[in-house]
Amino acid sequence: MDFTISISSNLIFFDGKYMFGIISVLINKYIELLTSYGLDLEFVFELFNSWRVTPYFPSNHFIKYLKEHGVPVCMKDYTQFPTDPLCLDIEEYSNQRIHKLSAIYCMINMELGIPYKYSLQILLEMHSGEITI
């Protein structure tokens, strides 16, 4: 499935509400793999082809952000973050799965230009059903 929309040759929007689900599935599968080998979770994220890309959320908080600050546009073609690998104990992750996934999701949104505060508010709207996935 393609979740991107190219408005012009200069800007690409993608449907940010699907990103949380995709991240959740990838990390959960990664944890299953690591658990089967008895390893802990350690990773960094890489975004490729992200120049002039922006997420879009059908969210009241996101619309408010757009009105106040304009459209967040990633101006890097490639980025790797965090600078030091993110280490999570698998048992701790399993006990706090939603909290940890939310923090990772917000970290990715920050790399795409959306402040942590707005990312959390968008997540709360998704959780409350105001945004349907």
* Three-state SS letters, the chain: CCCEEEEECCEEEEECHHHHHHHHHHHHHHHHHHHHCCCCEEEEEEEECCCCEEEECCCHHHHHHHHHHCCCCECCCEEEEEEEEEEECHHHHHHCHHHHHHHHHHHHHHHCCCCHHHHHHHHHHHHHCCCCC
The sign one gets for the Cα dihedral 109, 67, 49, 131 is positive
Per-residue pLDDT of the chain (133 residues; tens, 9 = 90+): 555 555 555 888 888 888 888 888 988 888 888 888 887 777 788 888 888 888 998 888 899 999 999 999 888 899 888 888 888 777 787 788 888 888 888 988 988 889 999 999 998 888 887 765 5
Output the pTM of the full model: 0.79
Structure tokens at 123: 């997540």
